[in-house]
Structure 1
Amino acid sequence: MSTQHSRSDRAFNRSMLIKLVVVAFLMFGFGFALIPMYRAICQFSGVNNLVKRDASESEVRNTQVDMTRTISVEFDANARGLLGFKPEQTSLDVHPGEVMTVMYDISNNEGRTIDAQAIPSYAPKQATEYFRKIECFCFTQQTLKANETKRMPVVFVIDPKLPKDVKTITLSYTFFELNKPATQTAPKQSAGA
């Protein structure tokens, strides 16, 4: 009886092992499939489109300037670490359809070369689809040498289809270092030393 019982236990264990291996392979394959699925969903929905060109110059040339409206655009800058980052002007009055340029200054106050990236955000959120950047330092990574300062442009246009109730748009950038090296901590000394 124990031989038959141990055989059924082995058969059950073998069956369970096969099922677990199959589930593990399926989970592993699903993990790899998530990357292209995520990209396809983001591309379809327009999500995660923060660092791509919003409009080409030819599209902008075909836009009529709405001289009857003025939108106040406020500029904000935030930096992580020892980066100095600020707009050269804090606000600008713009007619929808008018191509405008604003300059930002970035300074690397580190004693080493760094790679950094700017990520834009907009307020109110509904203005995001109407604020079109033609040229922006946020489209690519920026490499700053030790103690280097750069002036960087943002060329933009506000789509005349912007809802009439939006009178002010805030463009905010957060500039942060990529692949920041880990900080080294000094070894602890014992109390008796």
Structure 2
Amino acid sequence: MSARGVKQTALRLLGAAVLMFGFGYALIPLYNVICDVTGINGKSSSLQQAAGADGAEIDQSRLIKVEFIGTPNSELPWEFRPLVKSVEVHPGAVTDIYYHARNLADYSITGQAVPSVVPSPAARHFSKIECFCFTKQTLAAGETKAMLVKFRLDPEIDPAINQVTLSYTFYALDDEGAVKQPNAEPVEMDHSHHAQVPAG
């Protein structure tokens, strides 16, 4: 092989090596992008967070009032309430609000919040990007915690909807992770009315 041929072969091999290195270097960022978009490997989608960050997809012509409600179940001795009763948001904008929770018992308690959105047609346009309701929450005796909800209303929400309510009911969980049920009252039969009434 001539010296010129050897030089051309060496240049081709060098070019191939550079391309392989570049592909390997880009592989991890590419994988992260795929994970962000698809949710693979536990990565949550960043599309909703990106929307609204630079003003894109925000409907500045509309304001929707979002009200917040928080209720602890009767078996959960906690204070639980939103720190703000309502906010007005532009569809597409990302908004942060917090709920206050405090364990009034003298022992640690684990609970789980269950959300509800009304009116029901708004529910599929209400995206919770981050929420304490995604996981169980444990508060030590007397512990107080601020619980974040990061949400976004889809700009495609029905134009007739101008108010949405997000409510949470916090339930106490037992050691097996099941919801604690109120103790049933003993009952006795009232034969004169043929109905069951609470004893006592």
- Tell me the TM-score normalised to structure 2 length: 0.61
**d(CA) in 1 for partners of 2:60, 2:182:** 52
**d(CA) in 2 for partners of 1:90, 1:129:** 22
1:100 to 90, 95, 102: 95
**d(CA) in 1 for partners of 2:79, 2:130:** 21
Is the 8 Å Cα contact of residues 99 and 146 (structure 2) preserved in structure 1?
yes
Pick closer, same or farther for the CA change 1:77–1:65 going to 2, 3 Å: same
Give, in angstroms, the shift of residue 176 of structure 1. Answer: 1.1
1:70 to 63, 74, 79: 63
Give, in angstroms, the shift of residue 60 of structure 1. Answer: 3.5
Residue number in structure 1 paired with 2:116: 121
Residue number in structure 2 paired with 1:163: 158
2:146 to 145, 151, 165: 151
Give, in angstroms, the shift of residue 181 of structure 1. Answer: 9.6
Is the 8 Å Cα contact of residues 48 and 152 (structure 2) preserved in structure 1?
no
Amino acid at match of 2:72: A
**d(CA) in 1 for partners of 2:164, 2:81:** 17
Is the 8 Å Cα contact of residues 66 and 166 (structure 2) preserved in structure 1?
yes
Amino acid at match of 2:61: T
Gaps of 5+ in 2: 1-41, 175-179, 184-200
Give, in angstroms, the shift of residue 167 of structure 1. Answer: 0.3
Query: 1:139-160 CA deviation, whole Å, 9 max, x = no partner?
Result: 0000110111100110000000
1:85 to 80, 89, 101: 80
Residue number in structure 2 paired with 1:61: 50
The range that moved more, 166-175 or 60-69, is 60-69
Would you identify which runs of 4 or more consecutive aligned residues in structure 1 move more than 2 Å?
Answer: 55-60, 180-183
Percent identical residues: 41
Q: From the two aligned structures, give the one with the greater helix fraction.
A: 1
Superposition RMSD in Å: 2.0
**d(CA) in 1 for partners of 2:79, 2:121:** 29
Pick closer, same or farther for the CA change 1:182–1:132 going to 2, 3 Å: closer
Pick closer, same or farther for the CA change 1:181–1:113 going to 2, 3 Å: farther
Is the 8 Å Cα contact of residues 60 and 97 (structure 1) preserved in structure 2?
no
**d(CA) in 2 for partners of 1:74, 1:88:** 11
Pick closer, same or farther for the CA change 1:181–1:175 going to 2, 3 Å: closer
Gaps of 5+ in 1: 1-52, 184-193
Give, in angstroms, the shift of residue 182 of structure 1. Answer: 8.8
